[in-house]
Amino acid sequence: MFNSKFLLVQGRALDQNDESLQSFPSNWMDEFPLIEKLGFDGIEWIYDKKSEYDNPILNLQEQLNIKKISKKHNVLLENIVFDWFIIHPLLKKDNISLSTKIQKLIDLLDYSEKIGFQRVIFPLLEGNAIHDSNEMELFLKIFSDNILPTLNLKKLEIHFETSMSPNDEFNFISKLDNSQTKICFDMGNSASLGFDCTEVLNKIHPFLGSVHIKDRLINGNTVPLGEGSVDFLTVFMILNKIKFSGPVSFQAYRDKNSNNIELLKSYLMFINNIIIRL
C-alpha cells in the first residue's frame, strides 16, 4: 500500500504572476484553503531570491501566522525549498561572500525548524549545480565543516535535489555520511537528462528521502503529466517495492493560462490511477 503524503509546491494552485514557473507568491495565504479543498496533505514552501527580504518565514509574527493558517486548513508544513541558492550558489563567487551565504543557510535552517518544517530541499541545480569531482569535494568540505554541526542539533533533514548521474549522486550523499541528509528524486528532471528511472532508484534508494512529481521531455521542457518521458508506472512500482514512505510533492506543469485547480485535480487523478495499478 503506497502511503506517502501528497504535497503541493507553493504557488501551483494560484495564478502564475510572472514569467517564472516557480516563485514565492505574495498572496500565499489564499492558497491554503485551496490546498485543503484539493485534498493535498501539505505544502512545499519556497524561499527564493524574489522573496529574499519579505518572505514571511523571516519574521517572528509571520512565522506564528504561518503555523496558525496551516492548522486552520489542515495543511501540513512539510518541505521548504531554498531556491535562493540557485541564484547565489555556495561555490560561485559573486557579490555575497561565502561566509555570508553559510550564515544565511544556518539562519534559514533556524527559521524552518521554528516554524515546524520537517525537511529542507536544497537544489544542486542550474546555477548551483556541481559539475565535477573538484567542485563536489569543495562543496562536501564546506557543508561538512559549516552546516552539518548545526543540522545535527535540529529536528530537520536536508534533501539534495541534483542533476548528477546516479553514481555521482550516490557517491555525494555517501560521503556526507549523515542520517539527516538525503536525496530528493525529481522524476521529470531525471528523465529529461536521459537517466533510466530503474537504474537511478535502485542506486540511490538507501538515501531516498523525498520525491518530486513532474514530467519532462528528454532534453526538453516540463510538460503535463503523461505527455513526457517519465515512466510513471515503473517509478511508482519501484517506490512501492522499496516501501518508500517519504513525501511526494507535485511540481507539475502549468502556465499563465492554466486553470490550475482543474489541472491539479487531473494530476491527482492521474497519479492515483497509477497507484491503483500497483
d(CA 274, CA 278): 7
Whether residue 66 lies inside any domain: the answer is yes
Q: Which of 246, 241, 88 is nearest to 182 (CA)?
A: 246
Per cent of the chain over pLDDT 90 is 96
pLDDT one-digit tens code per residue, 31-76: 999 999 999 999 999 999 999 999 999 999 999 999 999 999 999 9
The percent of residues above 70 in pLDDT, for the chain, comes to 100
Per-residue pLDDT at 19:
63
Q: Answer whether residue 20 shows pLDDT above 90.
A: no
Write down the number of H helices and E strands in the chain.
11, 10
Q: Above 90 in pLDDT, residue 131?
A: yes
**Mean pLDDT computed over every residue of the chain:** 97
Q: Name the pairing type of β-strands 222-223 and 215-216.
A: antiparallel
**What's the sign of the alpha-carbon dihedral 136, 139, 145, 150?**
negative
Number of structural domains (the chain) is: 1
Averaged over 139-161, what is the pLDDT?
Answer: 98
> Is residue 10 a contact partner of residue 37, using CB atoms and an 8 Å limit?
no
pTM over 0.85: yes
Q: Are the CB atoms for 175 and 181 separated by under 8 Å?
A: no
Domain with 193 in it: 6-276
**pLDDT tens for each residue of 82-92:** 999 999 999 99
Assigned domain for 1 exists: no
Confirm whether 73 is domain-assigned: yes
How open is the CA angle 172-168-207, to the nearest 5 degrees? 55
Total residues belonging to the chain: 278
CATH of the domain at 197: 3.20.20.150
Q: Taking Cα atoms as reference points, which of 101, 73, 76 lies closest to residue 87?
A: 101
Q: How many CB atoms lie within 10 A of CB 172?
A: 22
Nearest partner of 136 among 101, 94, 103, 175, judged by Cα: 175
